[in-house]
Structure 1
């Protein structure tokens, strides 16, 4: 059902939206990972620091994906 609904739109637009939403999802998972690391710091500071670094990496990757999708959308006009 969702594929039929999405197929009504321009394929390039669908590609851009997919990249945008994947970037938003990765960024969100990164923020949640950072939050988990902060709360884990009560028990194990070394593990918490590593988890926060992984979350930070995910946030950076998510933002890069979002910026690339927006630049691609801007260039398609």
Structure 2
């Protein structure tokens, strides 16, 4: 299991279209993927779960990945949230 704390740098955060794109990326991996904010943990492959966190730009979250492709998944999702991809 890998985890990393990251600050959301993309506009307007993980809401609407960016959230849908994040979920799409998360679903391309076989690993289990979670996002944690303020001790609330959601499945990152669920658009409803992700939207329930109301993640705006500047919010600090923890991405938790567990599975066979966890390193690649964590790297790609962190890069997306930081606006590098």
| Pair in the same fold by TM > 0.5 | no
When Rg is computed on C-alpha atoms for both structures, the one with the higher figure is 1
State TM-score, norm by structure 2.
0.28
> Which structure has more helix as a fraction of its residues?
1
> Which structure has more strand as a fraction of its residues?
2
